[in-house]
Amino acid sequence: MEKKLMRIGISLPGELLDKFDKALMKRGYSSRSEGIRDAIRTYNQHYEWMQQIKGTRTATISIVYDCSKKGVTSTLAEIQHDHMDLINSSVHFNMEENLCFEVIILEGDGEKIVDLAEKILSLKGVKHSRLTTVPEERTK
């Protein structure tokens, strides 16, 4: 079966592209296109993993965000207040003047946790977000 390659165009900040190119060179990729294909495959695998999260889970969502971006801090607070049934605790750390790191500890329905993580990930100003979950294994 022939694999048809599609040509696309994307816009990226220069600093992000420079970091990507350095990583590609260090890892020995033959082209930027191959690196982008690999990054998209990794993104798709992570998305598929998130869609399989079911049942009661304990989880963390780690977030790095630009707190100088208008609205991101208040929107994060609103989202967390709307999901108090899932959130056990959160820790906030100021990394730099305009860069914050936050870890949210959750417990509850896996699908609701994924929905919360996706809301956070899609916010403008969020530079990094990672969901980690473990299934409930407590003895009752």
Q: Are 64 and 127 in contact (CB under 8 A)?
A: yes
Report the 10 Å Cβ neighbour count for 104. Answer: 25
Query: Which pLDDT tens digit goes with each residue over 10-25?
Result: 999 999 999 999 999 9
Look at residue 139 and tell me whether its pLDDT is greater than 50: no
Q: What are 49's two structure tokens?
A: 């993993």
Per-residue pLDDT band for 3 (boundaries 50, 70, 90) equals confident
37-84 pLDDT, tens per residue?
988 888 888 888 878 888 899 999 999 999 999 999 999 999 999 999
- Please check whether residue 113 is in contact with residue 56, taking contact to mean a CB–CB distance below 8 angstroms: no
Report helix angle 32-51 to 110-121, nearest 10. Answer: 140
- Which residues lie closer than 8 Å to 80 by C-beta, 6 or more apart? 87, 90, 104
pTM: 0.73
The CA angle 30-33-39, to the nearest 5 degrees, is 100
Amino acid at 108: G
Q: What is the pLDDT of residue 2?
A: 58
